[in-house]
Amino acid sequence: MTQPVDTRVPATDAPAAIRPRILVVDDEPSMRDMLRIVLRRDGYDVDVASNGKEALDLLNRVAFDLLLSDIRMADVSGVDVLRAAKDANRDIVAFMMTAYASTSTAVEAMRLGAVDYFTKPFNMDELRLKVAQHLESHRLKQENVRLKRELRSKYQFSNIIGRSDAMLAVFTLVETIAKTNSTVLITGESGTGKDMVARAVHYNSLRRDYPFVALNCGAVPETLLESELFGHMRGAFTGAETNKKGLIEIAERGTVFLDEIGEMNAAMQVKLLRILQDRRFRRLGGTDEVQADIRIIAATNQDLPKLVAEGRFREDLFYRINVIPIQLPPLRDRREDIPLLAEHFLEKFASQMGKNVHSISNDAQERLAVYAWPGNVRELENVMERAVAIEQTPVVLPETLAPHVGPGAGQEGPSATTEFEAAAPDLRSLPDLGEGFDLEAKGDEMYRHYISLALERTGGVQTKAAELLGMSFRSFRYYAKKFNIR
Ligand SMILES: Nc1ncnc2c1ncn2[C@@H]1O[C@H](COP(=O)(O)OP(=O)(O)OP(=O)(O)O)[C@@H](O)[C@H]1O
Ligand SMILES: [Mg+2]
């Protein structure tokens, strides 16, 4: 929310903003005094140190935003002061000053993270300007980090990212029901985050200090499923050489997550029903019944009511597990989440791979936005991992995305015409005519844009692209060449 600025209020009446704090280190008194006076007049808080040792003392006690240090001093060198300053605050803006333009120390200082150095005598105005510029970009960077963090905590619940209404509703629901003991049924296509939601329920519940045990009912052979869940006694079947605890016992006081519950066979369904009804079970080959204190969360990407109708899933079991249903919509039905998720995965993989890839180009964003994502969030995660791995520039470009993502394959939604319409410049947002307006440049920009777009849509087939643009192949070639489009 931006408030209109009331220009009648003098700036000094505004609540005092925190002023940047600068440390000046120089053993030459006249230089020290001059810098203090000039920088204070520019509105900074300035501390001065007359030697390296004093500087180190101050750095230990005070948090500085900017360091301005002479390199050659009698006791501790400016390079050591710089090192200490960076140890105290990795983000400190540091400038070095030297009367002896020795490139090797300057290079050393830059290597340690100084942003620039001034050779004495220097122009004071130039110094003031550089100080102001670097402090401002530092402030903007910090502001950005703060905003991103704020946004992130708002659109994140237990590491699950989402800003769509559907996902925000899921966050609220999970938070509300986590503390209960009710059985939860999570449904959604593959890769929509069912696993994550199951964990979120457990880790937000009173059972969080006890185990979360997951069993993929589809991956365990039917013959083993029962002993996996309930455990067995020695000799219960061939190969059962010792007593073994089942997952239900291992999860005591915690949560059992039954993934792909739709894959469970009829016999197991009966046993599970028993557990859900009275929380009692028997180990395979065992005689005693055991009481279990567990919460059950089930998940499936199948349509359970349909399985019930077809007689493949017990109706009574369905009602027993469907106490609290949580439905995760496919990613294509919550496209608002795509940019947030893409950025989240970008950051995750860039930091994992130690690569400086920090943003996604508009064209690439556009492709991510229109693709159908049959593999949902998991597919987006994989696409971003691949993109970060092969990207050679700091920005993810459309050509770095997997070739199937975007125009053409797997795409639904906007038709060719609406997509072209969406790409057209908004005439209302054009700058006022007259002042610096350049119709030819605007026109060129549009040609370039549409030709690239058409080529993207046709996978680079020029004749088709020309057709799409209602142009002769000849003029298409002319313009493509003129604007240097491949
Ligand atoms: N909202 C989300 N925020 C962040 N990461 C997510 C989100 N949804 C899914 N993921 C990530 O996508 C991948 C797939 O998620 P998950 O395993 O939870 O899906 P699933 O619905 O259980 O899929 P399947 O049916 O195939 O088992 C995981 O790596 C998960 O971390
Ligand atoms: Mg899963």
Nearest CA to ligand 1 atom 26: 190
Nearest ligand 1 atom to the CA of 337 is 1
Q: What percent of the chain is predicted at pLDDT more than 70?
A: 88
Q: Worst-scoring range by mean pLDDT, 18-22, 163-167, 199-203?
A: 18-22
User: How sure is the predictor about 98, in pLDDT bands with cuts at 50, 70 and 90?
Assistant: confident
What is the structure's pLDDT at 403? 86
Q: Are 324 and 183 spatial neighbours (Cβ–Cβ below 8 Å)?
A: yes
The gap from C-alpha 463 to its chain's centroid, in whole angstroms, comes to 40
Nearest ligand 1 atom to the CA of 198 is 18
- Cα–ligand 1 centroid distance for 49 (angstroms): 55
Please determine, for residue 327, whether its predicted confidence score (pLDDT) is greater than 70: yes
What is the structure's pLDDT at 461? 81
Q: Is 188 in the pocket of ligand 1 (CB under 6 A)?
A: yes
Q: Worst-scoring range by mean pLDDT, 54-58, 128-132, 266-270?
A: 266-270
Torsion of CA 168, 346, 416, 443, to 10 degrees: 120
Query: Which among 378, 379, 382, 384 is the best mutation to test ligand 1's pocket, defined by most ligand atoms within 8 Å of the CB?
Result: 378
Query: Which among 160, 185, 196, 382 is the best mutation to test ligand 1's pocket, defined by most ligand atoms within 8 Å of the CB?
Result: 196
* Mean pLDDT on 252-265: 95
Q: How would you class 61 by CB atoms within 10 Å of its CB: exposed for 0-12, middle for 13-18, buried for 19 or more? A: exposed
What is the structure's pLDDT at 196? 96
User: How sure is the predictor about 456, in pLDDT bands with cuts at 50, 70 and 90?
Assistant: confident
What is the structure's pLDDT at 378? 96
Q: Is 297 in the pocket of ligand 1 (CB under 6 A)?
A: no
* Mean pLDDT on 394-418: 67
- Cα–ligand 1 centroid distance for 40 (angstroms): 54
Nearest ligand 1 atom to the CA of 381 is 12
* Mean pLDDT on 402-418: 55
* Mean pLDDT on 454-466: 83
* Mean pLDDT on 149-158: 74
**pTM exceeds cut of 0.85:** no
Element counts in the chain: helices (H) and strands (E): 19, 18
Please determine, for residue 475, whether its predicted confidence score (pLDDT) is greater than 50: yes
> Is the pLDDT higher at 379 or at 7?
379
Q: Give the model confidence (pLDDT) of 49-96 as tens digits.
A: 999 999 999 999 999 999 999 998 888 899 999 999 999 888 899 999
* Mean pLDDT on 394-404: 90
Q: What percent of the chain is predicted at pLDDT more than 90?
A: 56
- Cα–ligand 1 centroid distance for 308 (angstroms): 26
Q: Which ligand is nearest to the CA of 171?
A: 1
Q: Is 301 in the pocket of ligand 1 (CB under 6 A)?
A: yes
User: How sure is the predictor about 15, in pLDDT bands with cuts at 50, 70 and 90?
Assistant: very low
Token pair, residue 257, equals 């997550």
Q: Is 193 in the pocket of ligand 1 (CB under 6 A)?
A: yes
User: How sure is the predictor about 455, in pLDDT bands with cuts at 50, 70 and 90?
Assistant: confident
**What stretches of 206-294 adopt beta strand conformation (E)?**
212-216, 231-232, 244-245, 255-259, 280-282, 289-291
DSSP-based three-state secondary structure for 343: helix
Q: Look-up: residue for tokens 């007359």? A: 50
Q: Give the model confidence (pLDDT) of 427-444 as tens digits.
A: 444 555 666 667 777 777
Alpha carbon distance 344, 213 (integer Å): 27
What is the structure's pLDDT at 202? 95
* Mean pLDDT on 361-375: 93
Quickly list H helices, 179-232.
194-203, 222-230
Q: Is 246 in the pocket of ligand 1 (CB under 6 A)?
A: no
Q: What is the DSSP string of 53-75?
A: HHHHHHHHHS--SEEEEES--SS
* Torsional sign, CA 346, 351, 354, 356: positive
- Cα–ligand 1 centroid distance for 348 (angstroms): 15
Q: Worst-scoring range by mean pLDDT, 6-10, 74-78, 121-125?
A: 6-10
Q: What is the DSSP string of 165-181?
A: HHHHHHHHHHHHHHTS-
Please determine, for residue 6, whether its predicted confidence score (pLDDT) is greater than 60: no
